Amino acid sequence: MPPPAISSQAFSSPQELPSNSSPTISVESNFGWPFEMQSSPWWPQPLVYQSDELPALFEKMKELYQSRGWMGEREASMFIKAAGETVFHRLSRLNISEMRSAIQKQRTVVSASPIPCILVDASGKPVFANDAFYELTSSPYLVEELDIVSYTSMFDVPDLSSFAYLAFSVERVQKIPAFFQIHQKKDYCTQERHGMTFVEGVLWSHKEMNEERIPYCAAVYLLVSPHSHAAVSRVSNHLDPCVERMIEDMRSDKDLDRHERHKYRKYLLNDEHPWCLLPHRYHHNELPILRNEPDVPGLGRRDEDVQMMNMLAATRVSKAKVTTLPKQQLLNSGKDGVNSARIARSSIEATDTSWIPDGAVSHCPLCELPFGLLRRKHHCRRCGGIFCAKCSTSRIFLQLEQVRVCDACTLHLHGEEENASVELYTDEGDRTNTKWSFDHLGDGNIRDWFAVIHQSHSDQHYTQHHSDSSRLLNKKLFCGISTALRPVLWPQLAESSEIHKKNAGVYKEILDMMPGACKYVDQINADVPRTFPSHPFFRDQKGQDQLRNILMAFSVLKGDIGYCQGLNYLAGVILLHMEEEKTLWMLMQLMKKYEYGGFYVEGAPALDTCMKIIDKTMKNHMPDLWNHFDKHGFPFQIFASQWLKTIFSYNFPMDLVFRIWDVFLAEKLNFLLWVTFMILDNSQEELLTMSDTQLMSFFNRLPDRAFISLRASLESQT
Amino acid sequence: MAGQMRKALTYKLVLLGDAGVGKTAIAVQFVKGQFNPFLESTIGASFMNQTVTLPDETLIKFQIWDTAGQERFHSLAPMYYRGAQAAIVVYDITNRNSFEKAKEWIKELQQQGDPNVVVAFVGNKVDMPEARKIQPSEGESYASENGLFFIETSAKTAENVSELFMKIAKQLPSIQRQKDITSGPSNPGVKPGVGAPSKGKGGCCG
């Protein structure tokens, strides 16, 4: 599970505003400082520096940046000045209104900039983006509406203070001062933020500045761009070859428009996993990589004159409030150390996790006996506390190994699982109200699943690359989830239960407004009886009513999509596994986490991108087939779009659909592309001998042998 | 010659119209002679083919592309009707809105499509006379204004369904022949085994 995201309420409720705040608050409150620093639990104590220390500090930083050739003197001064101003204001606890005007000033500068920029406030929440940014990303959302990017987990190192700089630039990434040093692979990772891919470098800053560590800067997010190559190679010779290749490719081709490039790049970026599932000949160097136009209109040479401060977004000062791991362990340990930190943190979301330093305790908090030569100290990996061996006899299964938990946590964990007990259904054809609890499922089984899913989500938070946990998860998923477990595990995989919890009651409220509030009633009514009409559950009036409710509620909640044919199948597949409300939130999550909205909004940009990927991959890797299709003018896209759009739920046998969904929920769109290529690959020889009409009939309703070989392909991955 | 060799001429036919007017039902009725009230709503497009024999023994093979009707997919439609030699635009006689949508489709075909496309304007669901909102005369007059041919069908009772396709089939070669005459020897025309010449599609599958 990822670290808790800061709920938006924390920002919308202006609490304890200082008395000297100016009357302009209401005007600017949409991007300003709606809360007092100390009052927010998310806001760590600011660094206590004497304000007169700062100019010297910034001077030193400037020198450093300059000496490393990251920017010219003028730019460095501008940047430091801009950075310094904001930081200085915060550090000296400037009053709110002045701080706002400082931000407002930046906002003015940024809004005129042709460089895509986002301003984030001190908490890391994006508050403003300029037109160039919107143009670049074609984002249908205002950044203010985006979820908070949670940095909390990254900054909870004791006695260290960090600033997070969020800088976006396409044209002049190389001019962004690279605040981070990449020495090893673990020092950076690629990250998805706001639908874009960033190379993220993490540096735990030191109080003392030296050549190796640049002070006070925790992270920089660089938008990978055709022009970022120079910058990236300057800071690291160890970049993932995939990233480099991508950059290289982006420089040299102009196939795709900007929107696609940003929104769906990650499917092309991910070197390690999805494509390696393909037969060996598709692997690695032959990766299909989409190419992008190198030049973004409006971002030409005139940028040269734009000052560095345009790129400055905002800063964040933090001081750890909660400890997760000792600093040294985080900094110096190898991958294992970091992993164990994550295990400790992520295991099952403790409320106040802190890794107690060894020296901090002398007695076991449970049995209250003193530690000594015979009674050794052991950390519980869940709460981080120190216990004696007798009080920490339990182990939980995490990743590939079992880790120690204390007895108190064990009790707690059991409690959680009991709470998590939900209604399960025996099988799709027989949705009776058979209630299951986890006891019926065999001990360990569901726990393994939970553990590995949580671990995988947690690792994903840190790295784009596939971790051991996600590999293990995939292995398990390829074997398939048993029907009885899908109702529990699907929401876990999709992380929809949290959204559900947050929005408890919303579904009921929406239903009360129905059908008046829904613009698509006629269309929905027409499609509901036509969704899986041969399935007993949907033949029944009750099943149809539930599906109708879900689709109507969805069309209200997701106004930009409303209702579109195809959603009925997605909702139908989910509804076969869980109750209405859960289905709705999982469907919402499909649109959000899995970016399926791109298939359903007007113009379907995701579909377009996928078609290009498919076309390109076929052309490169199945040239005979591609030529064959081309020769006959066979529009394979029509069928592929059907498959992708409905996540294979249209015209595929149900059991296979569910198995595809199992893996899809972890692997996202990548996996669906894999399935598509597998179908082609399995039948390639046969297809090559077919005429166009035969091809059309083949793909219109795949023959059983195609399903059989697809099943075999799934099996072969386990 | 075509008759003797029993070679089929292949034509691409596309079904267009608002969602739920019965496009798939018409196609299924024509191809399989069945009516299924529980047809799945079409996503993207589905494909069927069926061969008809004209009185002069010419075999006409229809590649029927049945498309999804929802407005949202409108932008994808050219992908489906590109290269079609015939189009059936369907509306539901019990639904005024679908009639308007059908008119939009006609307009789009006229603007974007090949002018030689045979277009049929079809009012479906005549088995529900009590719910009728569009009188036959209304469809008739719109069709004649636009030079289309008009027919009312019922996919449920199969009324006029095969007539519809027969009529299209009869019109198709006549158009091709006309083309041959008007454009002279420079146009190779339809040759058995070659299929529709101008599109490079089709092909002989006899």
Which residue out of B50, B70, B72 would a mutagenesis test of the A interface target, given it has the greatest number of A Cβ atoms within 10 Å? Answer: B72
A236 versus A582: the higher-pLDDT residue is A582
Which residue matches tokens 């470098």?
A201
Residue A503 has pLDDT above 50, yes or no: yes
pLDDT per residue over A32-90, tens digit each?
Answer: 222 222 222 222 223 333 445 556 656 665 665 555 444 455 555 555 555 444 444 44
Tokens of A300: 């030409």
| C-beta neighbour count of A422 within 10 angstroms | 16
CB proximity list for A78: less than 8 A, separation 6 or greater: A307, A308, A309
Q: Does residue A105 have a pLDDT over 50?
A: yes
Residue A467 contacts residue A459 (beta carbons within 8 Å): yes
Search chain B and give the residue with CA nearest A523.
Answer: B19
Q: Give the distance between the most distant pair of CA atoms in chain B.
A: 54
In-domain check, residue A378:
yes
Say what the pLDDT of residue A60 is.
63
Compute the distance between CA of residue A578 and CA of residue A572 in angstroms, rounded to an integer: 10
Count, residues in chain A: 718
ipTM of the prediction: 0.80
Same domain, A562 and A616: no
Return the DSSP state at A194: T
What single DSSP character describes residue A34?
-
DSSP string, A552-574: HHHHHHSTTT---TTHHHHHHHH
Q: Which residue of B has its CA nearest to A562?
A: B72
Q: Please list the residues that pair with A220 across neighbouring strands.
A: A165, A201
Q: Which amino acid is at B171?
A: Q
Whether A168 and A117 have beta carbons less than 8 Å apart is answered as yes
The residue of B41, B67, B75, B201 whose CB has the most chain A CBs within 10 angstroms, and thus the best one to mutate to test that interface, is: B41
d(CA A497, CA A453): 13
The rounded distance, in Å, linking the Cα atoms of A188 and A178 is: 12
Considering A56-60, A282-286, A472-476, the range whose residues carry the highest mean pLDDT is A472-476
Containing domain of residue A593, as a range? 481-599
Give the one of A602, A691, A693 whose C-beta lies nearest to B72's C-beta: A602
* Separation CA A203–CA A193 (nearest Å): 19
Predicted confidence (pLDDT) per residue in A708-717, tens digit: 888 888 888 7
d(CA B91, CA A153): 58
pLDDT at A368: 76
Exposure letters B99-138 (e unless 16+ CB within 10 A, then b): bebbbebbebbeeebeeebbbbbbbbbbeeeeeeebeeee
- Whether residue A420 has pLDDT greater than 60: no
Round to whole Å and give the CA distance between B71 and B17. Answer: 9
Q: What percent of chain A has pLDDT over 90?
A: 6
Which of A297-306, A329-338, A616-625 is the most confident on average?
A: A616-625
Residue A318: pLDDT over 50: no
Mean pLDDT of A400-411: 60
User: Are the CB atoms for A204 and A218 separated by under 8 Å?
Assistant: yes
Q: Which of B44, B47, B200 sits opposite A633 (nearest CB)?
A: B200
Strand partners, B67: B45
A136-141, long-range: CB < 8 A, 24+ apart: A136/A170, A136/A258, A136/A262, A136/A296, A137/A194, A137/A195, A137/A196, A137/A258, A137/A259, A137/A262, A137/A263, A138/A258, A138/A259, A138/A262, A138/A263, A138/A605, A139/A194, A139/A195, A140/A560, A140/A601
What topology does CATH give the domain B10-31+84-173?
A: Rossmann fold (3.40.50)
Q: Are the Cβ atoms of A526 and B10 closer than 8 angstroms? A: no
The residue-averaged pLDDT of A293-317 equals: 27
pLDDT band, residue A559 (cuts 50/70/90):
confident
* Residue A717: DSSP 8-state: T
Chain A residues interacting with chain B (CB cutoff of 8 angstroms) = 523, 526-527, 529-534, 539, 564-566, 568-569, 600, 602-604, 632-633, 635, 637-639, 641-642, 645-646, 650, 691-694, 696-697, 699-700
Kind of pairing between the strands at B118-124 and B86-92: parallel
Is B75 in contact with A638 (Cβ distance < 8 A)? Answer: no
Q: Are residues A615 and A501 in the same domain?
A: no
What pLDDT does residue A392 have?
78
Identify the band that residue A362 occupies on the pLDDT scale cut at 50, 70 and 90. confident
For residues A574 and A707, membership in a common domain is answered with no
Same domain for A532 and A518: yes
CA A70, chain centre distance (Å): 30
Question: Is A527's CB within 8 Å of B19's CB?
Answer: yes
Lowest mean pLDDT among A193-207, A521-535, A635-649: A193-207
Cα separation, A41 vs A10, whole angstroms: 9
Distance separating alpha carbons of residues A668 and A605, to the nearest angstrom: 17
Please report the beta strands in chain B, taking only residues with DSSP state E, as ranges in sequence order: 8-17, 45-53, 59-67, 86-92, 118-124, 149-152
Nearest CB partner across the interface for B41, out of A530, A603, A639: A530
| Number of neighbouring beta carbons within 10 Å of residue A508 | 10
The Cα A637–Cα A644 span in angstroms is 10
pLDDT the model gives residue A75 = 54
Q: How many C-alpha atoms does A341 have within 13 Å on its Cβ side?
A: 22
Q: pLDDT value at position A186?
A: 37
Spell out the residues 6+ positions from residue A198 whose beta carbon is closer than 8 angstroms to its own.
A190, A191, A192, A221, A222, A223, A224
Per the CB < 8 A criterion, the answer to whether A270 and A670 are in contact is yes
* Its pTM surpasses 0.90: no
Test B70 with A523 for CB contact under 8 angstroms.
Answer: yes
Strand positions, DSSP E, A370-471: 378-379, 386-387, 394-398, 401-405
Domain limits of chain B?
Answer: 10-31+84-173
Contacts of A662 (CB under 8 A, 6+ apart): A477, A478, A480, A481, A486
Q: Is the pLDDT of residue A155 over 50?
A: no
B63–A696 C-beta distance less than 8 A: yes
Average pLDDT estimate for A444-448: 63
| Residue A266 resides in a domain | no
Q: Looking at residue A48, what is its pLDDT?
A: 35
| Cα A142 to Cα A611: distance, rounded to the nearest angstrom | 28
What per-residue confidence (pLDDT) applies to A81? Answer: 54
Residue in A590, A530, A611, A598 with CA at minimum distance from that of residue A561: A598
User: Contact A149/A59 with Cβ under 8 angstroms?
Assistant: no
Q: Which residues of A touch B83 (CB under 8 A)?
A: 633
Q: Is the pLDDT of residue A121 over 60?
A: no
A124-133, A556-565, A655-664: which has the minimum mean pLDDT? Answer: A124-133
List pLDDT tens digits, range A677-695: 889 988 989 999 998 888 8
Q: Which residue of A has its CA nearest to B22?
A: A526
In angstroms, rounded to a whole number, what is the distance separating the alpha carbons of residues A30 and A12? 8
Give residue A65's pLDDT. Answer: 53
Distance from CA of B202 to the nearest CA of A (A): 7
pLDDT at A574: 92
Query: A595 in a domain, yes or no?
Result: yes
Per the structure, how many domains does chain A have? 4
Q: In the predicted model, what is the mean pLDDT of residues A494-501?
A: 86
Q: Is the pLDDT higher at A87 or at B175?
A: B175
Chain-chain contact of B200 with A523 (C-beta, under 8 angstroms): no
Of B17 and B176, more confident:
B17
Q: Which residues of B touch A566 (CB under 8 A)?
A: 43
Q: Do A642 and B47 touch (CB under 8 A)?
A: no
Which residues in chain A have Cβ-Cβ distances shorter than 8 Å to B24? Answer: none
A594 and A641 in a single domain? The answer is no
CA separation for the pair A306, B145 (Å, rounded): 61
A576 and A683: one domain? no
pLDDT at B102: 93
The last residue of one of the domains, among A400, A417, A434, is A417
**Residue A636's domain is classified under what CATH number?**
1.10.472.80
Mean pLDDT calculated for residue range A246-252 = 46
How many Å lie between the alpha carbon of B70 and the closest alpha carbon of chain A? 7
B80, A638: Cβ pair inside 8 Å?
Answer: yes
A216 and A70 inside one domain:
yes
Q: Scanning the structure block, which residue is given the tokens 């970016």? A: A595
Using an 8 Å CB-CB cutoff, list chain A residues near B45: 638, 642
Of A221, A238, A263, the residue that ends a domain is A221
Residues A589 and A622 in one domain: no
B66 forms beta bridges with: B15, B46
Please indicate whether, in this complex, the C-beta atoms of B38 and A530 are within 8 angstroms of each other: yes
Q: How confident is the model at residue A134 (pLDDT cuts 50, 70, 90)?
A: low
Q: State whether the Cα torsion A234-A237-A240-A241 is positive or negative.
A: positive
**CA nearest to A564 within chain B:** B72
A594-634 per-position pLDDT tens digit: 888 888 887 778 888 888 888 888 888 888 999 999 998 88
Tens of pLDDT along B40-99?
888 888 888 888 888 888 888 898 998 887 777 777 778 788 888 899 999 999 999 999
Look at residues A261, A293, A145, A313 and name the one whose alpha carbon lies nearest to residue A612. Answer: A261
CA atoms within 13 A on the CB side of A160: 28
pLDDT of residue A284: 26
Higher pLDDT, A119 or A210: A119
User: DSSP character for A300?
Assistant: S
Residue predicted with more confidence, B6 or A239:
B6
Interface test with A, best of B7, B24, B46 (most A CBs within 10 A): B46
Of the ranges A67-76, A221-230, A345-354, A568-577, which is most confident?
A: A568-577
**The most confident of A105-119, A310-324, A678-692, by mean pLDDT:** A678-692
Are A128 and A118 in contact, with CB atoms under 8 Å apart?
yes
Q: Do A697 and B72 touch (CB under 8 A)?
A: no
A138 and A179 share one domain: yes
* Nearest chain B alpha carbon to A563: B72
Which of these three, A570, A599, A628, is where a domain ends? A599
Q: Is the pLDDT of residue A260 over 90?
A: no
Task: Tell me the count of A-B CB pairs closer than 8 A.
Answer: 89
Cis peptide before A515 (omega within 30 of 0): yes
pLDDT of residue A126: 53
Q: Residue A165, SS3?
A: strand
Same domain as A165, residue A214: yes
**Nearest Cα residue in chain B from A525:** B20
Helix (H), strand (E) at residue A46: none
Q: Are residues A691 and A587 in the same domain?
A: no
Mean pLDDT for chain A? 58
Q: Which residues of B touch A641 (CB under 8 A)?
A: 44, 76
Q: Which of A603, A646, A700 sits opposite B46 (nearest CB)?
A: A700
Residues A692 and A560 in one domain: no
DSSP A151: -
Specify burial of residue A451 (Cβ count, 10 A radius: 0-12, 13-18, 19+). buried
Distance from the A433 Cα atom to the nearest Cα atom in chain B, whole angstroms: 27
- Say how far apart CA A375 and CA A391 lie, in whole Å: 11
- List the one residue out of A533, A571, A536 whose CA is nearest residue A647: A571
